[in-house]
Amino acid sequence: MMNINFKNVFGIPLIIFIVSWLLFLTWSCQNNQKLRILTRNTSNTQSIFKTGPGIHSSWLRQIHQHEQKIYSQNGEDGILLWIFANIGTVNYPPRFVEFGTENGDECNTRFLREQLGWQGLMMDGNYEIPGINLYKENVTSKNINELLAKYQTPSLLDLLSIDLDFDDYFVWKSILQANRFHARVVIIEYNYAIPPNENRVVDPNQDSRRWTGTMHFGAGILAMAALGRAYNYTLIYADKMGVNLFFIQTSILIDQNILHKVRSVEQIHVPKPIVYWNHPQERDETRRWIWNDTVWK
Ligand SMILES: *[C@@H]1O[C@H](CO)[C@@H](O)[C@H](O)[C@H]1NC(C)=O
Ligand SMILES: *[C@@H]1O[C@H](CO)[C@@H](O)[C@H](O)[C@H]1NC(C)=O
Ligand SMILES: *[C@@H]1O[C@H](CO)[C@@H](O)[C@H](O)[C@H]1NC(C)=O
Ligand SMILES: *[C@@H]1O[C@H](CO)[C@@H](O)[C@H](O)[C@H]1NC(C)=O
């Protein structure tokens, strides 16, 4: 009698409980492995992810909650940490290239480098500090691939950060076309003032002038998104200051089965940056834009 009672009352629920508990353990272990950021300083990695490790299936949707400034100009530090918390890294230690860093005090990779053991190359037109791998180079669309080779860049980086204030689009395009160096995540400056339905970018070959403080610089969000898309990168975010765009390799989104969660270019576009930039209109009407350089397909 006792036996039968026990079986009915506890037996089946107990088995269900144990099985689901084992399933849960397996699931959380897998997630932990995927999530783990490879770093020399694991004590730090833990403290960054306050919620504890685990891929957040809605991480793309939550990305806007993660802007946080540590050493970056604005909230880029927090966004990059959030992205890598959810897609991991492939190099050990993780590798980056960033150009347009000035002296490296305020840039997108300083936190990763100093606190998380990432390694990489920085380049800037005015600064050289070999101790932190920062080299004085004038990066152009013509020399960028040679420069990457010169500093022994691996063929697949975790992060590429581009901030040249003018021809960023063409330098990225040159890297993409050469097909020698790839990055899983790309952060690149754009021109917030160009409406998201206008596919245009500055003509960098018109003369030697670069950014003169006016609206005449960079590329619009649609031009950047179209360029990325042509090379299998997906635009996932634009920061609230209207300064940077974040791209990741489309294959990563497909692997995570979240490509359908990416918002449209129109939705990602920031119509009113939280800072009023007040860049004056370009008075020189001969300064040209190039339209539809990469057609959105
Ligand atoms: C690792 O991180 C801890 C906590 O921030 C820090 O105290 C320590 O100096 C770091 N170690 C290295 C090797 O960077
Ligand atoms: C970069 O360009 C400037 C201006 O053209 C030049 O004066 C400087 O020497 C160049 N620097 C390097 C490292 O090539
Ligand atoms: C983009 O991905 C597609 C599908 O995997 C592939 O056929 C195509 O060659 C890729 N394009 C580039 C430029 O890598
Ligand atoms: C750019 O392409 C769009 C869409 O195909 C088209 O409507 C527009 O006229 C083109 N602009 C120029 C200046 O060619």
Is 124 a pocket residue for ligand 2 (Cβ < 6 Å)? no
Strand order in the sheet with 182-189: 134-136, 119-124, 95-99, 156-162, 182-189, 244-249, 233-238
User: Which pLDDT belongs to residue 56?
Assistant: 63
Is 232 a pocket residue for ligand 3 (Cβ < 6 Å)? yes
Atom of ligand 1 nearest to the CA of 117: 14
Burial of 48 from C-beta contacts in 10 A (0-12 / 13-18 / 19+): middle
Is 41 a pocket residue for ligand 1 (Cβ < 6 Å)? yes
Distance 115 CA to ligand 1 centre (A): 7
| Residue with tokens 């504890």, as numbered in its chain | 52
Distance 223 CA to ligand 4 centre (A): 12
User: Which pLDDT belongs to residue 33?
Assistant: 35
User: Which pLDDT belongs to residue 156?
Assistant: 97
CA distance 33 to 183: 21
Break the chain down into helix, strand, coil percent, rounded to 5: 40, 15, 45
Is 210 a pocket residue for ligand 2 (Cβ < 6 Å)? no
pLDDT in tens, the chain (297 residues): 445 555 566 677 667 766 676 665 555 444 433 333 434 444 444 434 444 444 566 889 889 988 888 899 889 999 999 899 888 899 989 999 999 999 999 999 999 999 889 999 999 999 999 999 999 999 999 999 999 999 999 999 999 999 998 999 999 999 999 999 999 999 999 999 999 999 999 998 888 888 888 888 999 999 999 999 999 999 999 999 999 999 999 999 998 889 999 999 999 999 888 887 788 888 888 889 999 999 998
Please give the domain boundaries of the chain with CATH numbers for all domains: 36-291 (3.40.50)
Atom of ligand 2 nearest to the CA of 136: 13
User: Which pLDDT belongs to residue 182?
Assistant: 97
Show the DSSP H helices in the chain as ranges.
2-6, 12-35, 42-48, 59-62, 76-87, 110-116, 144-150, 168-178, 221-230, 250-255, 265-268
The tokens for 174 are: 């040159």
Nearest CA to ligand 4 atom 3: 292
Point out which residues pair with 249 in neighbouring strands: 233
CA 34 vs CA 29, 87, 123: distances in Å: 9, 7, 31
Show the DSSP H helices in 73-167 as ranges.
76-87, 110-116, 144-150
